[in-house]
């Protein structure tokens, strides 16, 4: 299944706030459907639906294809530590997500575009692979061109009050971000976003059959 490129409001109406996909909230999307009040309340969701929706939240928030997310789940199962926390740790250390957390891109799709268009340097070298896994002491900078810096400055201006996670450091006047450490798997779900919660155990349960050894 390919990466989703359809209407973003459609997804946040169904799944709730997805900050990596769009800065809009479900409240912003409600005006698009005048019949919302006439809709009957949905029946109690089955365990399968709950697991499916949580998996979809992860997929659309981080901008992954189904195959990519399954691959990360398999890697997490083989690693030491709780599988769900390791999964979020792997996703949080992707280059496109690091740019998003540093506020150098407003969303993860915007961050992916920056990387694909070769606007980003890692340790002084151009990296055009959004899934590149960042490591401690990596230095992420904008290419020394006016267009690259303008794109990043526009993003910084759009979210001046958003916090940068503790495992990262932003130097906005130099268009530079530093990776201080790998985000700790024990507190990754608390660190990444206070307003966005993922129950990673439901994601692992959804993939349990596909990821059996």
Do 115 and 145 lie in one domain? The reply is yes
What would the pLDDT profile of 98-132 be if each residue is shown by its tens digit? Answer: 999 999 999 999 999 999 999 999 999 999 999 99
Q: How far is CA 95 from CA 14, 78, 80, 99, 114, in A?
A: 27, 22, 22, 6, 11
Do 174 and 98 lie in one domain? The reply is yes
pLDDT, position 192: 56
Do 80 and 100 lie in one domain? The reply is no
59 is a domain residue = yes
pLDDT, position 66: 92
Neighbours of 179 (CB within 10 A): 21
- Sorted by sequence, the CB contacts under 8 Å of residue 178 that are 6+ apart come out as 137, 138, 139, 140, 168, 169, 170, 171
Domain with 156, as residue range(s), is 94-179
186 is a domain residue = no
pLDDT, position 36: 42
34 is a domain residue = yes
Do 80 and 113 lie in one domain? The reply is no
Do 35 and 111 lie in one domain? The reply is no
Do 71 and 108 lie in one domain? The reply is no
Torsion of CA 66, 67, 68, 72, to 10 degrees: 100
pLDDT, position 187: 61
Q: Provide the CATH number for the domain around residue 20.
A: 1.10.1050.10
Do 166 and 200 lie in one domain? The reply is no
Do 44 and 17 lie in one domain? The reply is yes
User: Do 12 and 29 meet the contact criterion of CB atoms below 8 Å apart?
Assistant: yes
H or E stretch at 190: helix 188-191
What would the pLDDT profile of 32-54 be if each residue is shown by its tens digit? Answer: 444 444 444 556 888 888 899 99
| pTM of the full structure | 0.84
pLDDT, position 161: 72
Question: Which residues of the chain carry a pLDDT beneath 70?
Answer: 1-9, 25-43, 185-196, 209-213
- Residue among 6, 4, 27 at smallest CA distance from 16: 27
Do 174 and 157 lie in one domain? The reply is yes
Domain count, the chain: 2
What are φ and ψ of residue 40, in 5° steps? -70, 150
146 is a domain residue = yes
Distance CA(164)–CA(211), nearest Å, equals: 33
């Amino acid at each position: 299944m390919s990466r989703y490129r359809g209407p973003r409001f459609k997804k946040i109406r169904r799944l709730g706030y997805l900050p990596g996909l769009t800065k809009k909230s479900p409240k912003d999307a409600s005006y698009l459907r005048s019949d919302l009040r006439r809709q009957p309340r949905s029946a109690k969701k089955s365990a399968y639906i709950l697991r499916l929706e949580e998996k979809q939240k992860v997929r659309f928030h981080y901008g992954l294809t189904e195959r990519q997310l399954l691959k990360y789940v398999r890697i997490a199962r083989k690693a030491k530590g709780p599988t769900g926390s390791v999964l979020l740790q792997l996703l949080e250390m992707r280059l496109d997500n690091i740019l998003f957390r540093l506020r150098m891109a407003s969303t993860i799709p915007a961050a992916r575009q920056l990387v694909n268009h070769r606007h980003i340097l890692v340790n002084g070298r151009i990296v055009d692979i959004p899934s590149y896994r960042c490591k401690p002491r990596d230095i992420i900078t904008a290419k020394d061109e006016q267009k690259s810096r303008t794109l990043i400055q526009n993003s910084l201006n759009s979210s001046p009050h958003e916090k940068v996670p503790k495992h990262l450091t932003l130097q906005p006047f130099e268009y530079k971000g530093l990776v201080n450490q790998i985000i700790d798997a024990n507190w990754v779900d608390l660190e990444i976003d206070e307003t966005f919660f993922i129950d990673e155990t439901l994601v692992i349960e959804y993939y349990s059959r596909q990821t059996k050894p």
